[in-house]
Amino acid sequence: SFDMALSSILTEAEIAAGLQSCQAADTFDYKTFFVKVGLNSKSKDQLAKVFEIFDQDRSGFIEEEELKLFLKNFSASARTLTDAETKAFLAAGDSDGDGKIGVDGKTALMKR
């Protein structure tokens, strides 16, 4: 399962802190979230692994539909992102405007 893969990179405490920072609708801020879960301090290899987990259809890109379910990768009980949150997240990582996030955009996103 996805949870298993993420838990090899992040601690439960980190995941809980991240999810807690955005429990209410429209409070998700990817920068805050990445800092809370400690993703901004991970290695490139670890970030690539995380990217693979989010890229559920293995297309090499994270599409809007996958972003919407972003928090569910961390916990099955987490909420889906609102449209506004999803679009803001997508815009931040979509470096070439094709409506999805490639690996390059993802790494840039997490290291900001």
Return binding residues for Ca(2+).
Answer: 55, 57, 59, 61, 66, 94, 96, 98, 100
Measured between alpha carbons, how far is 24 from 3 in angstroms, rounded to an integer? 22
Distances (CA, A) of 36 to 22, 59, 64: 11, 28, 23
CA angle 112, 84, 33 (to 5 degrees): 35
Collapsing DSSP to helix, strand or coil, 63 comes out as strand
Return binding residues.
Answer: 55, 57, 59, 61, 66, 94, 96, 98, 100
